[in-house]
Protein backbone atom coordinates (compact mmCIF):
# COMPACT_ATOMS: atom_id res chain seq x y z
CA UNK A 1 0.00 0.00 0.00
CA UNK A 2 1.19 3.49 -0.82
CA UNK A 3 1.62 6.34 1.58
CA UNK A 4 -1.45 8.48 2.23
CA UNK A 5 -1.31 12.26 2.33
CA UNK A 6 -1.73 14.36 5.46
CA UNK A 7 -4.70 16.23 3.98
CA UNK A 8 -4.52 19.26 6.27
CA UNK A 9 -0.80 19.74 5.66
CA UNK A 10 -1.30 19.52 1.89
CA UNK A 11 -4.28 21.91 1.92
CA UNK A 12 -2.26 24.42 3.96
CA UNK A 13 0.57 24.20 1.40
CA UNK A 14 -1.76 24.52 -1.59
CA UNK A 15 -3.65 27.46 -0.06
CA UNK A 16 -0.43 29.35 0.66
CA UNK A 17 1.26 28.66 -2.71
CA UNK A 18 -1.55 28.04 -5.21
CA UNK A 19 -3.74 30.90 -3.99
CA UNK A 20 -6.85 29.79 -5.89
CA UNK A 21 -5.34 30.04 -9.37
CA UNK A 22 -7.39 28.50 -12.20
CA UNK A 23 -6.28 25.69 -14.48
CA UNK A 24 -3.57 26.77 -16.94
CA UNK A 25 -5.28 24.92 -19.80
CA UNK A 26 -8.99 25.69 -19.49
CA UNK A 27 -9.22 28.52 -16.97
CA UNK A 28 -11.58 26.64 -14.63
CA UNK A 29 -10.63 26.36 -10.95
CA UNK A 30 -12.32 23.09 -9.95
CA UNK A 31 -9.59 20.69 -8.74
CA UNK A 32 -9.37 17.20 -7.25
CA UNK A 33 -6.40 16.49 -5.00
CA UNK A 34 -5.19 12.89 -4.67
CA UNK A 35 -4.94 11.40 -1.19
CA UNK A 36 -1.90 9.29 -2.18
CA UNK A 37 1.75 10.01 -2.92
CA UNK A 38 3.11 8.61 -6.19
CA UNK A 39 6.62 8.13 -7.56
CA UNK A 40 7.79 9.91 -10.67
CA UNK A 41 10.86 8.22 -12.16
CA UNK A 42 13.02 8.57 -15.24
CA UNK A 43 11.74 6.67 -18.29
CA UNK A 44 13.71 3.50 -19.09
CA UNK A 45 11.70 2.12 -22.02
CA UNK A 46 9.33 0.36 -19.63
CA UNK A 47 12.15 -1.54 -17.90
CA UNK A 48 12.47 -1.49 -14.12
CA UNK A 49 16.00 -0.46 -13.25
CA UNK A 50 17.20 -1.43 -9.77
CA UNK A 51 18.96 1.52 -8.18
CA UNK A 52 18.38 3.29 -11.49
CA UNK A 53 18.14 6.89 -10.53
CA UNK A 54 16.18 9.30 -8.43
CA UNK A 55 12.49 9.09 -7.64
CA UNK A 56 10.41 12.19 -7.15
CA UNK A 57 7.46 11.78 -4.74
CA UNK A 58 4.44 13.67 -6.09
CA UNK A 59 0.79 14.31 -5.31
CA UNK A 60 -1.41 14.69 -8.41
CA UNK A 61 -3.86 17.62 -8.53
CA UNK A 62 -6.31 17.21 -11.44
CA UNK A 63 -8.63 19.72 -13.11
CA UNK A 64 -12.17 18.32 -13.05
CA UNK A 65 -13.03 20.19 -16.25
CA UNK A 66 -10.26 19.25 -18.72
CA UNK A 67 -8.14 16.63 -16.93
CA UNK A 68 -4.95 18.71 -16.81
CA UNK A 69 -2.85 17.24 -14.00
CA UNK A 70 -0.26 19.11 -11.95
CA UNK A 71 2.22 17.27 -9.75
CA UNK A 72 3.05 18.78 -6.35
CA UNK A 73 6.41 17.63 -4.95
CA UNK A 74 5.62 15.86 -1.65
CA UNK A 75 9.00 16.78 -0.10
CA UNK A 76 8.69 20.50 -0.95
CA UNK A 77 5.10 20.45 0.36
CA UNK A 78 6.39 19.07 3.71
CA UNK A 79 4.42 15.83 3.43
CA UNK A 80 7.43 13.52 3.67
CA UNK A 81 11.09 13.78 4.64
CA UNK A 82 13.74 13.46 1.92
CA UNK A 83 15.79 10.26 1.89
CA UNK A 84 19.17 10.83 3.48
CA UNK A 85 22.06 8.65 2.42
Q: Is the pLDDT of residue 19 over 80?
A: yes
Neighbouring C-alpha atoms within 13 Å toward the C-beta of 36: 5
Residue-level length of the chain: 85
Cα-based angle 51, 85, 41 (whole degrees, multiple of 5): 35
Number of alpha carbons in the 13 Å side-chain half-sphere of residue 55: 13
- Say whether pLDDT at 70 is over 80: yes
| Residue extents of the structural domains in the chain | 7-73
Task: State how far the alpha carbon of 28 is from the alpha carbons of 31, 34, 50, 78, in Å.
Answer: 9, 18, 40, 27
The model's pTM: 0.81
Asked whether residue 79 carries a pLDDT value surpassing 90, the answer given is yes
| Per-residue pLDDT, 52 | 65
Q: CA separation (Å) from 48 to 37, 51, 60? A: 19, 9, 22
The angle at the Cα of 36, spanning 35 to 40, to the nearest 5 degrees, equals 140
Amino acid sequence: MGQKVDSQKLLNHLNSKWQGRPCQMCGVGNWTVSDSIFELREYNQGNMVIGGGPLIPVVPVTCNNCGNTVFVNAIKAGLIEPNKK
